[in-house]
A and B are shown apart, each in its own frame.
Chain A
Amino acid sequence: MHSKTIAELAAGLKKGDFSSEELTKSFLQRVKEFDPDINSFITVSEDHALAQARVADESIAKGNASALTGIPFAQKDIFCTNGIKTTCGSKMLDNFIAPYDATVIHNFNQAGSVMLGKTNMDEFAMGSSNETSFYGGVKNPWDSSTVPGGSSGGSAACVAARLVPASTGTDTGGSIRQPAALCGITGLKPTYGRVSRYGMIAFASSLDQAGTFTQTAEDAAMMLNVMAGFDEKDSTSIEKEVPDYTANLNQDLKGLKIGLPKEYFGEGLNADVAKVVEDAIAEYKKMGAEVVDISLPNSHLSVPAYYVIAPAECSSNLSRFDGVRYGYRCEDPKDLEDLYKRSRGEGFGDEVKRRIMIGAYALSAGYYDAYYLKAQKIRRLISDDFKQAFEKVDVIMGPTSPEVAFKAGEKSDDPVSMYLSDIYTIATNLAGLPGMSVPCGFANNLPVGLQIIGDHFDESRLLNVAHQYQQTTDWHKQMPEAYK
């Protein structure tokens, strides 16, 4: 049962092959059995999940079930959940219980789905290996000595190990696509503004976007149907009709124009990874797609621009964690300044502090023009690169990450090398575009992800392109031996 997709499980529930309660219990059992090792969950909400499952079973019995009714999911611990702890992977929020549901959570609840728990993540979503979590690292189910990627490492690992059928994540610079690639599953980051950010704890507001971890593109489409839409509580969510994302999946790819940016296949890309990605593209050619060489000339500026903009926004977004109203407060503060300094000093981890400092510096008087404004200009250039590319091609493809999962501890003392593991994903966030990572093979016995980037609001096409690949290949069906 644990290897079934959402689509298969939904069909089973509908037919009465099993109940949501049985399904939920069986996945909870797997979490109990395997997660002490993987550490993909921060909170397992067993009672809550079983209660939701029973309600779902009633709905199914009454015939008012929707596509996701009764399906268990794991939610990244960045989404506020009413009454259930929301930590954002930080000591700062280890005691925080939100009094409200994020819109994403609300939408899943409305759909009648079941929340098994909240997944582990890099602290405040800052990291690419899940090693900055206050709750400890997450093991990659393919090789427990390697990292699952980050920041949504827990969400990726639990789906890879089939502890849940699917999960949510957030992607600010690659935090869905990179762990999806490193864990051998399908990850989708929608267009900025497609999914409401309300209740999703902000890292970098102009880049953050919620998305999915699934086994298949079809499952991602089913989840996006529930997640997407305008939300009056989020002024940056976009008032645009939500199509049925499953409707286009079966369209053939004859004549599809795939752009291959030369900048994504150059220096820094692991040769074995490159080979696997090239094979995947060859597969697309077989399906009738046309490949076009393109250039995104400002690609090399995306990492530096990102590491000004994202920290600048985070330095402001994280100011609210001050020990005054909620979250961690230091013991016996002697005055206000001491309260601030020690609460924040003790409550935040090193990577978070590093980014707050970088951001505060970039915004400070005398440096603003040289850093923040300049980065915004670069952001516009990067956006324009994509705009021009999409005049020529339908989708852009390349590797999701320059290499496969790396060893735990390998990069944790070298922030720049860690930052470079998002080199192919960051530009997409700066331009607000949708992107996916689809499993496309293995290098050194570790999964490789193919990145597919689409134009704004072209999720239907992305999902169609990924789904068609998954009809002719079975990389997405591969499971780590230990969790079969």
Chain B
Amino acid sequence: MEWETVIGLEIHTQLATKSKIFSGAATAYGAEPNTQACAVDLGLPGVLPVLNKEAITMGVKFGLALDAEIGMTSAFDRKNYFYPDLPKGYQTTQMDYPIVGKGSLTIELEDGSTKVVGVTRAHLEEDAGKSLHEDFQGMTGIDLNRAGTPLLEIVSEPDMSSAKEAVAYMRKMHSLVRYIGISDGNMQEGSFRCDANVSVRPKGQKEFGTRAELKNINSFRFVERAINIEVERQIDLLEAGGSVVQETRLYDADKDETRSMRSKEEANDYRYFPCPDLLPVKISQEFVDELKANLPELPDVKKARFVETFALKAEDASTLTSSREMAEYFEVVAEKCGDGKLAANWVIGELSGYLNKEDTDIASSPVTAEMLALLITRIKDNTISGKIAKQVFEAMWKGEGDADAIIDSKGLKQITDTGAIEAIVDEIIAANPEQVEQFKAGKEKVLGFFVGQCMKASKGKANPGQLNQMIRDKLK
């Protein structure tokens, strides 16, 4: 039987507010346990939550970026359950009136086509703390630094039909929240993670199959693996005559398997009800309009502009706009050197290669956009060849200075003096009579040999175009 996969994602993105959603404690990552937890975060008797307005602002920005419905009146509810790292015994979240309503996100697929994925809603909520099981023999430690950190939970429609689509959606969402500056998107620190609802059904069937929810996946690679493994598991199960149980499953990256956490029957009754400590949040149209006016250019718009302004291929424009930092970097390079295509090649090629190799991001690149622009300018004004430029780039990466300084100190300036080049060409021709004969006999390929030899003799500093022409003339 042919099967069809149905996937919906719930993405939890940590908002980049300085303080927590309901208290003044800091949200910075990595502090000593319980040093960023105040009386409110600890859930001491008598304390009350006070909403951080910045969280509302960020939620609205997100809604605007998705062109979604904005919750002009949103409200907080309590989700009640007991867990040691949940200090109040309930999580404050938004149930009936989320800050963001229906919207959608267009994703690009590998074959270059696009797909619109529906976004059901996005709501604000507080994160829980952490239970630490190591270092406490037979006991559990509780770190409440993370408790009360603001999260935006983005819930998609079950519109994705493969792990690849899910990853494309997650990547696009990841890029978007960073574009509009509402999250640092740091996945290692858990600032961007997702739950995937996965089910399969016979191809053509309308009703959804029974779904499993894969919890807390914090990398793009794991999302793809986890979904594929889960789909396989469900298909195997169904084809063997079994049935899928509605349950929550955990993806174990080490064992590369999903396993059951709890079934629907064991699920909590969360006893949601409106939080009586917080009034409904009413926002004005003016507030929304102002945020809209100040929203940065969004990836899709930016991409179209890059294609048009810099005559880039759509694929390159996509790559360059995949993060705001890269797009901004590219734009500085392109504007300063005046050549969008070259700029794109260098950013996507050399720069990205180094960033990947060194596992760093563009913001901490030792080669700034201004430095790369100068390098490209030096290629364009024939000071250096493209090949030498790679050498200069490496030196810049190592922190040896800007392009001009490196060209100067290493003597990499292209030789444009015809006399000096001619001397080299004559010497090489004289030393290789055999190859001269071959060329004259019509073996064009040998030209490359001469260019190479001359280039080598000039230590790469000869201008390749000039060299080519001169050798050709001399061998005639």
A residues adjacent to B (C-beta < 8 A): 79-80, 86, 88, 93, 96, 98-100, 102, 197-202, 204-206, 232-236, 312-313, 315-316, 318-322, 324-327, 336, 340, 360, 363-365, 368, 372
CB distance from A370 to the nearest CB of B (A): 14
- Assess whether A320 is in contact with B89, with CB atoms less than 8 Å apart: yes
- What are 22 A-to-B residue pairs whose CB atoms are below 8 Å? A79-B46, A80-B45, A100-B44, A198-B48, A199-B46, A200-B46, A201-B46, A202-B46, A204-B276, A232-B50, A235-B49, A235-B51, A313-B276, A316-B78, A316-B90, A319-B89, A320-B89, A324-B87, A363-B80, A363-B271, A364-B271, A368-B271
- Assess whether B42 is in contact with A325, with CB atoms less than 8 Å apart: yes
Q: Which chain A positions have C-beta within 8 A of B42?
A: 325
Q: With A and B bound together, what is the CA distance between A325 and B147 in angstroms?
A: 14
| B39 contact from A96, A99, A315, A365, Cβ within 8 A | A99
CB distance from B358 to the nearest CB of A (A): 43
Given contacts A98-B44, A201-B45, contact A235 B90 (CB under 8 A): no
The 3 A-B pairs with the shortest beta carbon distances in the complex, nearest first, are: A319-B89, A205-B276, A363-B271
CB distance from A356 to the nearest CB of B (A): 11
Is B257 interfacial (CB 8 A cutoff)?
no
- Assess whether A316 is in contact with B271, with CB atoms less than 8 Å apart: yes
CB distance from A481 to the nearest CB of B (A): 38
Is B475 interfacial (CB 8 A cutoff)?
no
Q: With A and B bound together, what is the CA distance between A102 and B47 in angstroms?
A: 9
Q: With A and B bound together, what is the CA distance between A88 and B46 in angstroms?
A: 10
- Assess whether B84 is in contact with A234, with CB atoms less than 8 Å apart: no
Given contacts A320-B89, A368-B273, contact A98 B80 (CB under 8 A): no
Q: With A and B bound together, what is the CA distance between A197 and B276 in angstroms?
A: 12
Is B269 interfacial (CB 8 A cutoff)?
yes
Is B279 interfacial (CB 8 A cutoff)?
yes
Given contacts A364-B269, A365-B269, A372-B273, contact A325 B48 (CB under 8 A): no
Q: Which chain A positions have C-beta within 8 A of B89?
A: 316, 318-320, 322
Is B288 interfacial (CB 8 A cutoff)?
no
- Assess whether B47 is in contact with A236, with CB atoms less than 8 Å apart: no
Q: With A and B bound together, what is the CA distance between A313 and B271 in angstroms?
A: 11
Closest to A93 in B: B45
Q: Which chain A positions have C-beta within 8 A of B277?
A: 202, 205, 235-236
- Assess whether B45 is in contact with A319, with CB atoms less than 8 Å apart: no
Q: Which chain B positions have C-beta within 8 A of A205?
A: 276-277
* Other 18 A-B pairs with CB < 8 A, given A197-B48, A320-B87, A325-B42: A98-B45, A100-B44, A233-B48, A234-B50, A235-B49, A313-B273, A315-B80, A316-B80, A320-B43, A320-B89, A324-B84, A327-B45, A360-B271, A363-B272, A364-B271, A365-B269, A365-B271, A372-B273
Closest to A87 in B: B45
Q: Which chain B positions have C-beta within 8 A of A206?
A: 276
Q: With A and B bound together, what is the CA distance between A410 and B160 in angstroms?
A: 66
Q: Which chain A positions have C-beta within 8 A of B46?
A: 79-80, 86, 98, 102, 198-202
Q: Which chain B positions have C-beta within 8 A of A325?
A: 42-43, 87, 142
Is B88 interfacial (CB 8 A cutoff)?
yes
Binary contact readout B109-141 vs A (1 if CB under 8 angstroms, 0 otherwise): 000000000000000000000000000000000
Q: With A and B bound together, what is the CA distance between A86 and B39 in angstroms?
A: 15
Q: With A and B bound together, what is the CA distance between A235 and B278 in angstroms?
A: 6
| A316 contact from B47, B87, B273, B278, Cβ within 8 A | B273
Tell me what chain B mostly uses at the interface: helix, strand, loop, or mixed: loop
- Assess whether A326 is in contact with B44, with CB atoms less than 8 Å apart: yes
Q: Which chain A positions have C-beta within 8 A of B142?
A: 324-325
Is B3 interfacial (CB 8 A cutoff)?
no
CB distance from A380 to the nearest CB of B (A): 14
Q: With A and B bound together, what is the CA distance between A186 and B222 in angstroms?
A: 67
| B82 contact from A86, A202, A232, A340, Cβ within 8 A | A340
Q: Of residues 29 to 53 in B, which have CB atoms within 8 Å of A's CB atoms?
A: 39, 42-51
Tell me what chain A mostly uses at the interface: helix, strand, loop, or mixed: loop
Closest to A324 in B: B84
Closest to B45 in A: A201
CB distance from A94 to the nearest CB of B (A): 13
- Assess whether A322 is in contact with B49, with CB atoms less than 8 Å apart: no
Q: Of residues 245 to 304 in B, which have CB atoms within 8 Å of A's CB atoms?
A: 269, 271-273, 276-279
Q: Which chain A positions have C-beta within 8 A of B278?
A: 235-236
CB distance from B281 to the nearest CB of A (A): 10
Q: Which chain A positions have C-beta within 8 A of B88?
A: 319-320
| A363 contact from B43, B50, B273, B276, Cβ within 8 A | B273
Q: With A and B bound together, what is the CA distance between A80 and B78 in angstroms?
A: 24
Closest to A200 in B: B46
- Assess whether A336 is in contact with B84, with CB atoms less than 8 Å apart: yes
Closest to B270 in A: A365
Closest to A323 in B: B84
Q: Of residues 224 to 262 in B, which have CB atoms within 8 Å of A's CB atoms?
A: none
Q: With A and B bound together, what is the CA distance between A86 and B47 in angstroms?
A: 13
Q: With A and B bound together, what is the CA distance between A236 and B42 in angstroms?
A: 20
CB distance from B120 to the nearest CB of A (A): 21
Closest to B40 in A: A233
Given contacts A316-B89, A364-B271, contact A322 B45 (CB under 8 A): no
CB distance from A160 to the nearest CB of B (A): 27
CB distance from A72 to the nearest CB of B (A): 23
Q: Which chain B positions have C-beta within 8 A of A199?
A: 46-47
Closest to B76 in A: A235
CB distance from B45 to the nearest CB of A (A): 4
CB distance from B228 to the nearest CB of A (A): 34
CB distance from A343 to the nearest CB of B (A): 11
CB distance from B423 to the nearest CB of A (A): 83
Q: Which chain B positions have C-beta within 8 A of A340?
A: 82
Q: With A and B bound together, what is the CA distance between A70 and B82 in angstroms?
A: 45
| B47 contact from A198, A204, A318, A368, Cβ within 8 A | A198
Closest to A197 in B: B48
Q: Which chain B positions have C-beta within 8 A of A326?
A: 44-45
Closest to B271 in A: A363
Q: Which chain A positions have C-beta within 8 A of B78?
A: 316
- Assess whether B84 is in contact with A319, with CB atoms less than 8 Å apart: no
Q: Which chain B positions have C-beta within 8 A of A360?
A: 271
CB distance from A169 to the nearest CB of B (A): 15
Q: Which chain A positions have C-beta within 8 A of B48?
A: 197-198, 233-236
Q: With A and B bound together, what is the CA distance between A340 and B84 in angstroms?
A: 10
CB distance from A206 to the nearest CB of B (A): 4
Q: With A and B bound together, what is the CA distance between A306 and B78 in angstroms?
A: 19
CB distance from A315 to the nearest CB of B (A): 8
Q: Which chain B positions have C-beta within 8 A of A365?
A: 269, 271
Given contacts A235-B279, A372-B273, contact A320 B45 (CB under 8 A): yes
Q: Which chain B positions have C-beta within 8 A of A234?
A: 48, 50
Q: Which chain A positions have C-beta within 8 A of B43?
A: 320, 325
Q: Which chain B positions have C-beta within 8 A of A372?
A: 273
Closest to B131 in A: A336
Output the residue of A99, A315, A322 with the most chain B CB within 10 A.
A322
Q: With A and B bound together, what is the CA distance between A322 and B43 in angstroms?
A: 11
- Assess whether B82 is in contact with A322, with CB atoms less than 8 Å apart: yes
Q: Of residues 401 to 434 in B, which have CB atoms within 8 Å of A's CB atoms?
A: none
Q: Which chain A positions have C-beta within 8 A of B271?
A: 315-316, 360, 363-365, 368
Q: With A and B bound together, what is the CA distance between A316 and B49 in angstroms?
A: 14
Binary contact readout B160-175 vs A (1 if CB under 8 angstroms, 0 otherwise): 0000000000000000
Q: Which chain A positions have C-beta within 8 A of B90?
A: 316, 319
Q: With A and B bound together, what is the CA distance between A201 and B279 in angstroms?
A: 19
Q: Which chain A positions have C-beta within 8 A of B50?
A: 232-235
CB distance from A478 to the nearest CB of B (A): 35
Q: With A and B bound together, what is the CA distance between A363 and B78 in angstroms?
A: 11
CB distance from B322 to the nearest CB of A (A): 40
Q: Which chain B positions have C-beta within 8 A of A322?
A: 82, 84, 89
Q: Which chain B positions have C-beta within 8 A of A88?
A: 45
CB distance from A133 to the nearest CB of B (A): 16
Q: With A and B bound together, what is the CA distance between A263 and B118 in angstroms?
A: 55
Q: Which chain B positions have C-beta within 8 A of A327?
A: 45
Q: With A and B bound together, what is the CA distance between A189 and B382 in angstroms?
A: 86
| A236 contact from B39, B87, B273, B279, Cβ within 8 A | B279
